[in-house]
Amino acid sequence: MKEKAPPKLRTKTQKQIVGAIGEDAVCVYLKRKGYTVTDRNYLKKWGELDVVARKGAKIYFVEVKSVSRPFDDVPRVTSESGYRPEDNMHPWKLKRLSRIIQSYLLDKNVPDEVEWQFDVATVYVDQAKRLCRVKMLEDVIL
């Protein structure tokens, strides 16, 4: 009988590493602000929710956008290519997020009367200093 080869180990790209650091930073930020993180990386074929949190009876769906940049440069241009993390929120991305939020609400049997909102967390990651800055854009309309 022929033995199966072990699956290839995937190495993460720099973008994936920065994204994971950003998501971790947002979870720490939310917990410090009194939120409870209930889900991370909720995935369906048509999209993914980065962070789902609760505070009180309200559900918060948080999309995390991260860039790696020395903090000295953050107030002006926020990446080498001249964009801010929130500039990656294209209309088609918002549409996909709306669909995945609806899927989450149905999958988790969330009653219609439960309030929820969509937020975008922008994270500036200074890898050299091992620091992150989180800024929340709250109650974004989908």
8 A C-beta contact, residue 136 and residue 80? no
Each residue's pLDDT tens digit in the chain (142 positions)? Answer: 556 656 666 788 988 999 999 999 999 999 999 999 999 999 999 899 999 999 999 999 999 999 888 776 545 544 455 667 777 777 888 899 999 999 999 999 999 999 999 999 999 898 888 899 999 999 998 8
Domains of the chain from N-terminus onward: 14-137 (3.40.1350.10)
Question: Strand 58-68 to strand 116-126: parallel, antiparallel, or no bridges (unpaired)?
Answer: parallel
Residue in this structure with the two tokens 């918002």, named with its chain if needed: 94
**Does this model's pTM top 0.75?**
yes
